[in-house]
Amino acid sequence: QLQLQESGPGLVKPSETLSLTCTVSGGSISSSSYYWGWIRQPPGKGLEWIGSIYYSGSTYYNPSLKSRVTISVDTSKNQFSLKLSSVTAADTAVYYCARRSLVLTGEGLDYWGQGTLVTVSS
Amino acid sequence: QSALTQPASVSGSPGQSITISCTGTSSDVGGYNYVSWYQQHPGKAPKLMIYDVSNRPSGVSNRFSGSKSGNTASLTISGLQAEDEADYYCSSYTSSSTPYVVFGGGTKLTVL
């Protein structure tokens, strides 16, 4: 059974860089059938798509966050990562990693991590 | 970037059917058959219920169905059950400037 697990600091200071890693187990991140993505949800609010990456390294970002976001993949560790720079309190959210299966569920995100709360505060 | 428009809340009684709408533009919902729907219970990760407008992933009840007309997509839940009470989000592929995904603001479904 595929599992995704987010990890990283739960508290980040304003103006610093938020860094999270998603570890994929039970399947290979290197398959050409999948994209891997990040989505966030501020407390009590809706979902926001941050971006996604293909195993080859091709990336797609939300235009509203593009100038601050970097998503990368480490196939040797079966992980992909998110970096969000110059954070403010508005970046406080639960951050989810997720998989998009081109073959099984088209544009839908079929597997999600449990999410990790990141708070931006001094 | 504008989120897709969903009603803030809908409600229905057990056994009834409800429909949640998701309105976008010709650059997203209307332009592509790439609308997905997610169910989210409190404190849990979202769960994919419908992908590519009207397809159900394996294991999702056939009480859930999706459709689209013009710039508006819809999720219909028939035979409402207590466990259907949750937040529902639509999403769509869009390429107005660069390809990405936009979500709706979410709809709280209450089963009376």
Please indicate whether, in this complex, the C-beta atoms of A114 and B51 are within 8 angstroms of each other: no
Going by the DSSP 8-state scheme, the letter that residue A48 receives in this structure is E
Q: In chain A, pLDDT over 90 holds for what percent of residues? A: 89
Distance set, CA A30 to CA A77, A81, B32, B99 (Å): 10, 14, 27, 22
Measured between CA atoms, how close is B38 to chain A, in angstroms? 9
pLDDT band at B98 (very low <50, low <70, confident <90, very high): confident
Give the residue from chain B lying closest to A117, CA to CA. Answer: B43
Going by the DSSP 8-state scheme, the letter that residue B45 receives in this structure is -
pLDDT, position B2:
59
Q: Which residue has the higher pLDDT, A57 or A115?
A: A115
The string of pLDDT tens digits covering residues B5-49 is 999 999 999 999 999 999 999 999 999 999 999 999 999 999 999
The string of pLDDT tens digits covering residues A75-98 is 999 999 999 999 999 999 999 999
Please indicate whether, in this complex, the C-beta atoms of A115 and B45 are within 8 angstroms of each other: yes
Per-residue pLDDT at B86 exceeds 80? yes
Q: Which two tokens stand for residue A18?
A: 């938020």
Q: Which of residues 35-94 of A touch B (CB under 8 A)?
A: 37, 39, 46-49, 51-52, 60-64, 66
How far is the C-alpha of B16 from the C-alpha of A102, rounded, in Å?
Answer: 34
Q: Which of A36-45, A84-93, A101-110, B75-84 has the lowest mean pLDDT?
A: A101-110
Give the residue from chain B lying closest to A51, CA to CA. Answer: B100
Side-by-side strand order, sheet with A18-25: A3-7, A18-25, A79-84, A69-74
